[in-house]
Amino acid sequence: MLAAMAYENPPHVPYEPHLPWEYLHGIHSEETLEPLREAERHAPAYIQTIMPGPPTVWKPASTLPQGYIETEWGAVGRLHLPYITYSPLAGGWNLLDSYNFPDPYATGRFNGLRELADESRKAKYLRGWAFSALWEHVWMLRGYENALLDMYEHPDEFALLCEHIATYQVGMMEQFHRVGVDGIHFTDDLGTQQDLMMPPEVWRKLLKPHYARIFEAARANGTDVWFHSDGNIRSVIGDLLDIGVRVLNPIQPGPMDIDELVGTFGRRLRYSGGIDVQQLLPFGTPEAVRAAVKHWCALSGSLGGGMFIAPTNLITPETPLPNILAYLEACEEHC
């Protein structure tokens, strides 16, 4: 992992299986799944991911129907789409004055993570997981349509909300550094299939400064910043590099082209993902899946590293088992 990150000609290309066992158990027999289990057992465990939880004393504010969850931020959603069904600040900006933001230093949030990190530190790359870096918190608090309009109708209030969220994330970064991690993986979906969800110039004005503050806190002690966004975010990749992003995930085929990105950004960027869960895995052939893995490995060889192969998101239930097996076998063969 470290050699790949540093473009120092790693002997192997790191890859992650990311198998959807929750779905697979409900669809296939254990006997049918055994080849996948065997292939997964052969996959090197390069990464240990650690994820903070809610504070010890936190409890949902209300009793919810089965299939619903409440976040610590007060948003309510379904476990299956449509996700968010209640946003605590959707009723108006006046609600921001009395809203209590979560405390990043609350007791229990990082319980057990230091011990887990200490056990894994010498053998694995330690990656902290930071869900919903900024934009996703904004729209979950305000509601999606409101959040998109706020950038134009209420830019000052929008900026204030971003500032509060960034302050929370800076505190979370301090906690991660106390545990000790090699990288921090942020998630924040910004892209549609065509482009950003907002004009790039609006993103640069209203969101980029807050991302910069969060990533600066994350990069303390030389920690790598991983950034996940589905869709096409090509128009701001240069900006993300400028404010400290080192690894971009997932490089979603269709919306973005890995060869174009490598040709443009070269070793400035590290590339994660690449095995398409929208078209290739569910509807392609095992041969096409193998070809995609082989192509990413070839790019890694040409650059001297910088590639981390994984499905671009969760492998969907309709994906044929031969295609999943082809992915794992190709990684074992070519990586």
Residues 6+ apart with CB under 8 A from 129: 49, 50, 51, 184, 185, 187
- Amino acid in position 331: C
Q: What is the mean pLDDT of the chain?
A: 95
Q: Name the range with the highest mean pLDDT among 15-24, 65-74, 243-252.
A: 243-252
CA distance 270 to 125: 15
Q: Please say if the pLDDT value at position 82 is more than 80.
A: no
Q: Please say if the pLDDT value at position 80 is more than 80.
A: no
SS3 label, residue 87 = coil
Domain count, the chain: 1
SS3 label, residue 237 = helix
- pTM comes to 0.95
Instruction: Determine contact, residues 176/220, Cβ cutoff 8 Å.
Output: no
Q: Please say if the pLDDT value at position 46 is more than 80.
A: yes
CATH number at residue 184: 3.20.20.210
CA distance 232 to 191: 5
Domain-embedded: residue 275:
no
Tokens (6 digits) for 331 = 């990684």
How do residues 278-290 score in pLDDT, each as one tens digit?
999 999 999 999 9
Domain-embedded: residue 229:
yes
The answer to which of 13-27, 138-152, 211-225, 241-255 has the lowest mean pLDDT is 13-27
Domain-embedded: residue 156:
yes
CA distance 55 to 102: 9
* pLDDT at site 262: 98
How do residues 257-276 score in pLDDT, each as one tens digit?
999 999 999 999 999 999 99
How do residues 190-217 score in pLDDT, each as one tens digit?
999 999 999 999 999 999 999 999 999 9
pLDDT band at 235; cut points 50, 70, 90: very high
CA distance 55 to 111: 9
pLDDT band at 317; cut points 50, 70, 90: confident
Domain-embedded: residue 142:
yes
Domain-embedded: residue 277:
no
* pLDDT at site 3: 97
Domain limits for position 224? 77-249
* pLDDT at site 326: 98
Work out the percent of the chain whose per-residue pLDDT is above 70.
Answer: 99
Domain-embedded: residue 62:
no
Domain-embedded: residue 316:
no
What are residue 185's phi and psi, to 5 degrees?
A: -105, 110
Other beta carbons less than 10 A from residue 65's beta carbon? 6
pLDDT band at 83; cut points 50, 70, 90: confident
Residues in the chain: 335
Domain-embedded: residue 241:
yes
pLDDT band at 108; cut points 50, 70, 90: very high
* pLDDT at site 23: 87
Q: Please say if the pLDDT value at position 185 is more than 90.
A: yes
